[in-house]
Amino acid sequence: DGALRDMDDDEVDGELFVDSADAIDDFDEMEKDDNDEDAGQFRNTAAKDEDDMPEYAHVLPLYSMLSVDEQAKVFLPPPKGHRLIVVATNIAETSLTIPGVSYVVDSGRQKCRNYHA
């Protein structure tokens, strides 16, 4: 919520990097309800006090095991009045640029596999 509050331009979007696809799925399930017609559209509680902020966030996951069609959704503009928030694994951090993303929040965590021979 604090990161959204600092994003005071309604034309900019953001990207949040987390350490795994499981963390993305956990984030997605935290608010999403399959019976909700606005699934994936989360209310920006910071917007109620700010006239120039979008009231809703259009949250999309991005990680390698998603289908190509699901991955491509991050390149489409969000619905009118929504801010795009992409929740991605850090593998996307250096491999692509999403138009309109001006703010990046990195959790600072990563998973590393170590093999001992």
Q: What is the pLDDT of residues 26-43, one digit of tens each?
A: 666 555 544 454 545 555
**Residue 83 counted as domain residue:** yes
**Residue 18 counted as domain residue:** yes
**Residue 56 counted as domain residue:** yes
Q: What is residue 44's predicted lDDT score, i.e. its pLDDT?
A: 47
Counted domains in the chain = 1
Ordered alpha helix ranges (H), the chain? 2-6, 21-31, 68-72
**Residue 80 counted as domain residue:** yes
**Residue 115 counted as domain residue:** no
How far apart, in whole angstroms, are the C-alpha atoms of residue 86 and residue 60?
A: 5
pTM here?
A: 0.60
**Residue 114 counted as domain residue:** no
- Mean pLDDT by groups of 10 residues along the chain of 117 residues: 50 65 66 48 48 66 86 88 80 73 70 75
Q: What is residue 69's predicted lDDT score, i.e. its pLDDT?
A: 93
Q: What is residue 100's predicted lDDT score, i.e. its pLDDT?
A: 78
Coil, helix or strand at residue 5: helix
Instruction: Give the domain range for residue 26.
Output: 2-106
CATH number at residue 46: 3.40.50.300
Q: Which residues pair with 42 in a beta bridge?
A: 57
Determine which helix (DSSP H) or strand (DSSP E) holds 26, and give its type and residue range.
helix 21-31
38 vs 23, 60, 66, 89, CA distance in Å? 21, 13, 21, 24
